[in-house]
Chain A
Amino acid sequence: MSNKIVSVWTDNNFWKRSAAWITGFSAILLIWLTFDTLGQITQGTDTDMQKDAKGLYFSKRIPSATVINYKIGYEYSDKRGHEVPTINGKEKFFGRDDYSEEEAAALLHLGKLGSQAKNCMNCHTLLGNGAYYAPDLTKAWLDPKWKLMMAITQKKTREEAMAEFLQHPSKYPTHSRRMPNLDITAAEAKGLVAFLKHMSAIDTNGFPRNFGKKDITLRERSAK
């Protein structure tokens, strides 16, 4: 090697090769990430659901639509360091616990379209998307406050109380920021409640943080 002083920093070739490496590597990484995500976002089937129901936890991050036939819990996991949705046997949803995969999926679809048509995200947050003017709806199904709504609306079940509230929100003011009347029909309300119930069973790695920690975990623990 000679002692001649050379500047690599001003050399075009160095920057060209570095840029090629970074661009090429990032492109491969992003393509890999795209396929890697599929496992995380693939919805489980009813067969998975029935298998999972023998245990406590879901095997898929997004359970089948038939999860509306089951009682969903929310338990603190010491291993994971946050709450995880759990399955606690069958539970009637609007009087039935035998929704087929097609029926349940149709109900969820109706709820999803309803949530988009009524622009829930304008005030609420769903799975991290939306606003924080009104309460976060990601785990709304699990909110123990629906028990109060059952008493106020004089309904026997949580889903009926939720559907009643959604149809006539101005009749049941719960907050200083009142939910406007959105002309939600009974069918739409049923779909929306199914949509929210399914969403609460999605494993969101504990999001939203500390949801109902005091209300649910302590109450359920003391009940055991």
Chain B
Amino acid sequence: MTFIEPFTDMVPSFFGMLNQGPLTLTIFLHTIIILPMFFIYRQEKVRLEREGKQ
């Protein structure tokens, strides 16, 4: 049992690669969606603090 299984799709595609395991697509989508939200959160926090200061 290997952690990363070999890519065996008939027609190779980026989404095929993301769909090789039960959680691979989910983890990818969460990374790409949630991480920028942390970034947005931080930016907004800084902005609110700055506005509160004035």
Question: Which of B13, B32, B37 lies in contact with A18, CB distance below 8 A?
Answer: B37
Partner of B48, one of A11, A33, A79, A81: A11
Task: For chain B, residues 9 to 53, give those with C-beta under 8 angstroms from any C-beta of chain A.
Answer: 9-11, 13-15, 32-33, 36-37, 40-41, 44-49, 52-53
Query: Complex formed: what's the CA distance from A208 to B33 in Å?
Result: 34
Set B11, B40, B52: member contacting A17, Cβ < 8 A: B40
* CB atoms of B33 and A22 under 8 A apart: yes
**B49 partner residues in chain A, CB cutoff 8 A:** 1-2, 4, 6
* A131 to B11 CA separation, bound complex (whole angstroms): 28
Contact B32 A61 (CB under 8 A): no
Chain A residues, CB < 8 A from B11: 39-40, 61
Q: Are A6 and B48 in contact (CB under 8 A)?
A: yes
Nearest CB in chain A: distance from B7 CB, A: 10
Whether the Cβ atoms of A13 and B10 lie closer than 8 Å is no
A158 CA to B52 CA, complexed, in Å: 81
The complex places the Cα of A6 from the Cα of B37 at a distance, in Å, of 17
Given contacts A4-B52, A8-B48, A79-B6, contact A14 B32 (CB under 8 A): no
A sample of 13 more A-B contacts (CB under 8 A), given A61-B11, A203-B10, is A8-B41, A13-B44, A13-B47, A14-B41, A18-B37, A21-B36, A22-B33, A25-B33, A36-B14, A40-B11, A79-B8, A80-B8, A81-B8
